[in-house]
Structure 1
Amino acid sequence: MTFGTLALVVALGLIGPLLALPKRLHMPVLLGELAAGVVFGTTGLRILDPSDPIFVFLADMGFALVMFAAGTHVPVRDPRVRGALGIGAARAALVGVVAAVAGWSVAQAFGLGNGAVYAVLMASSSAAMALPIIDSMRLTGPPVLALTAQVAIADTACIVALPLVIDPGNAGRAAIGAVVVALCAGVMFLVLRYLVRTGAQRQVHEVSEDRKFTLELRVSLVLVFALCGVASEMHVSIMLGGFAAGLAVAGVGEPRRVAKQVFAISDGLLAPLFFVWLGARLDLRELGEHPRFILLGLALGAGAVLVHWSARLLGQPLAYGTLAAAQIGVPVAAVTVGSQLGVLVPGEGSAIMLATLCTIAVAALAAGRLASATPAVDSEKT
């Protein structure tokens, strides 16, 4: 990758905010970034080379920070959310059971052997998508608290489950890796909490703010990249490392100043670069060569929304269920790992990403409905 290419990628990242400018559309920024990558990548003009090692490494950094930000958005310290864990867990479990049946059914219908992978994809929720939407729209009330708990539980469970089902032969290794990452995140949380309670964190904050050292930001980056390094060494996705680091930081409370600094690095450069790379990596030409995978993508996308609608049986409004169906991290990891292991047949990865785009688009529509509703968005009548 050259500086010229990097400038192009950063410029393409601007398309996301430009397309998201009309507030009434409530279009996620990443849709424009993905679309730009598709046009300039493998599917379109082929100007961007998604296999470039530097491009791949920068994209991995962006993915790690996207998942880190998703973890920090989980309000684990909010007692109201802890109170909603029961209904959130019940809804996530119900969706998981329905997804297991739907995943098997889709695999049988298309004559493919990845029913377990499809089930995890359909059951997954994206904290990286849903929680920022909730924050930006300032949604409040019991339905939002339950949705937050549900998304956090489903996202965590599916992040852990994916490596187990996509590579059953190494499920034991993947399980051990997930446990090691979780233990490291737990140690990280305990150390951070100790520093907060002893006042050391406050002293560092004051020195950093006075001397403009940005020490807390540097420490945060060390933590997330270190945990991603552990995940890589244990042969599990950096998605798990980034998300676990975010949860550890959320557990002690991320200072607003640090949150803004991380946001600047992530959303200002690395996250758009990741989504442009992801779009460039997609080969939608495969869908033209294998038309049935278009149907597979639509089936997976529709299936994800429908299985999340099953939470209506436990009182969740359909609009919130649709928002919970939005996916990004788990499908990306499934396509990346599945392609590396040769688990996916040609066209299957593109179908999974098509399904992902469908869930994001439908979730954006649901977000628009919630935004245009009356101020009482916390009502179960939404």
Structure 2
Amino acid sequence: MGLVALVGPLLNLPRRLSMPVVVGELMVGIVFGATGLRLFDASDPTFSFMAQVGFALVMFIAGTHVPFHDPNLRRGLGLGLIRAAVVGALCVPAGLAIARYFGTSHGLVYAVIMASSSASLVVPALGGVKIAGRQPTAMIMQIAVADAAAIVALPVVMAPDRVLKAVAGTAAVIVLAAIYGFVTHSRYQSRMRAVSRSHRLALEMRIVLLALFVLAAVAVSMGVSVMLAGFALGIAVSVNGEPKRLKRQMFALTEGFFAPLFFVWLGSSIDLRALAEEPRSIGLGIALAVVGIGLHLLPAVAKQPWAMAAVTAGQLGIPIGAVALGQAHGMLEVWEDPAFLLSAVITIGAVAMLAPRVAATIQAEANPQGV
């Protein structure tokens, strides 16, 4: 598994064929998983568990990228909230219209999928570029808001009987993450860092990992995705200011092993063969992707760089979560599952193509004079 995960970085080496590492890792999973050779079993408990650890860590890194100390944060946060709200509101009638066209009653599910964004996809695809400036900050905040809202909304529209539990789980994770941020932002923090550095104990990383597993356990036990646990903890660390040593340690742990494992697992769980069995599945997948990207592009009218607007349409965790919940509750048609996955694959392709342009735009805004 670790060997094939190297294919992702290797695909990034040739200049003419260069692509985001995450795309290469997903392709490896698709080739060796359910769609291709079927050598990887995404349902294997050990494989699935380690992938979920990777998912939580990827979302943690995404949360630490939220630039709370950027002076443009307030304006960026406002812009991000407005854009996410506008796109989300427009996705509701669009989802209902698509459902009516394809003869289903799942318009609100379609709306949540189209309105969602994926920090766990976009942030890695940008190649670690530092998020700074008004527009980049607004983009990250829009993705974060859409991501969080979709995580909460998905179980509401798919399993209304679990609404209270999901809301309580979301609140519990957020409160615990806030408590962690408050406790670690104390006078003992500097002392702990000094002891950890002098004795090479990696205390900060150990504490962060412990907190991450606790939050993930609470999230899973209350029917909430581990993506919220990772993202909330990442934000708490970002607010306090992430130490450089901790940043390097967590990046190495995530990108060196667990993140590639997660994306390979995710690719292996996608079975695109099912698309051939029902033409409506292909049509629905294309419709969800194209309409979703189109709606996310609308803020470009209000001077958001169009490439940044387009990458906010990237789908990852929410379509996968919709398939999992649909299978658990038996509420989706058989042909809808592969449609959701096809929609995600299309938007992932769009993010892969546009990520270099977005990264260049962010760097240009951070260094407008080319110094």
TM-score when normalising by structure 1: 0.89
Cα 1:26/1:310, change in 2 over 3 Å = farther
Deviation of 1:344 (Å): 2.9
| Equivalent residues in 2 for 1:74-153, closer than 5 Å | 74-134=66-126, 136-137=128-129, 140-153=132-145
Deviation of 1:227 (Å): 0.2
Q: Runs ≥4 in structure 1, deviation > 6 angstroms?
A: 372-375
Aligned partner of 2:170 in structure 1 is 178
Do the aligned partners of 1:293 and 1:351 also contact (CA within 8 Å) in 2? yes
Structure 1 Cα separation of the partners of residues 363 and 50 of structure 2: 41
Deviation of 1:341 (Å): 2.6
More off after superposition, 248-257 vs 224-233: 248-257
| Equivalent residues in 2 for 1:349-368, closer than 5 Å | 349-368=337-356
Do the aligned partners of 1:84 and 1:146 also contact (CA within 8 Å) in 2? yes
Structure 1 Cα separation of the partners of residues 29 and 103 of structure 2: 31
- SS of structure 1 residue aligned to 2:72: helix
Show structure 2 runs of 5+ residues with no match: none
Cα 1:331/1:255, change in 2 over 3 Å = farther
Aligned partner of 1:337 in structure 2 is 325
Root-mean-square deviation (CA, aligned residues, Å) is 2.3
Do the aligned partners of 1:94 and 1:310 also contact (CA within 8 Å) in 2? no
Cα 1:27/1:176, change in 2 over 3 Å = same
Cα 1:368/1:24, change in 2 over 3 Å = farther
Match of 1:62 among 54, 61, 64: 54
Q: Does 1:11 align with 2:7?
A: no
- SS of structure 1 residue aligned to 2:135: helix
Do the aligned partners of 1:181 and 1:244 also contact (CA within 8 Å) in 2? yes
Deviation of 1:371 (Å): 5.5
Q: Does 1:256 align with 2:244?
A: yes
Do the aligned partners of 1:73 and 1:127 also contact (CA within 8 Å) in 2? no
Do the aligned partners of 2:29 and 2:264 also contact (CA within 8 Å) in 1? yes
Structure 2 Cα separation of the partners of residues 245 and 370 of structure 1: 26
Cα 1:130/1:41, change in 2 over 3 Å = closer
TM-score when normalising by structure 2: 0.92
Do the aligned partners of 2:289 and 2:343 also contact (CA within 8 Å) in 1? yes
Deviation of 1:14 (Å): 0.9
Q: For residues 46-105 of structure 1, what are the alpha-carbon distances to aligned partners after superposition, in whole Å with 9 as ceiling and x for unaligned? A: 212222111111111111111111111112232311232222211111111111122112
Cα 1:135/1:124, change in 2 over 3 Å = same
Aligned partner of 1:3 in structure 2 is none
Q: Does 1:292 align with 2:280?
A: yes
Deviation of 1:34 (Å): 1.5
Length, aligned pairs only: 368
Deviation of 1:133 (Å): 4.6
Do the aligned partners of 1:62 and 1:273 also contact (CA within 8 Å) in 2? yes
Structure 1 Cα separation of the partners of residues 114 and 172 of structure 2: 26
Q: For residues 207-226 of structure 1, what are the alpha-carbon distances to aligned partners after superposition, in whole Å with 9 as ceiling and x for unaligned? A: 11111111111111011110
| Equivalent residues in 2 for 1:268-279, closer than 5 Å | 268-279=256-267
Give me the identity figure in percent: 45
- SS of structure 2 residue aligned to 1:79: coil
- SS of structure 2 residue aligned to 1:190: helix
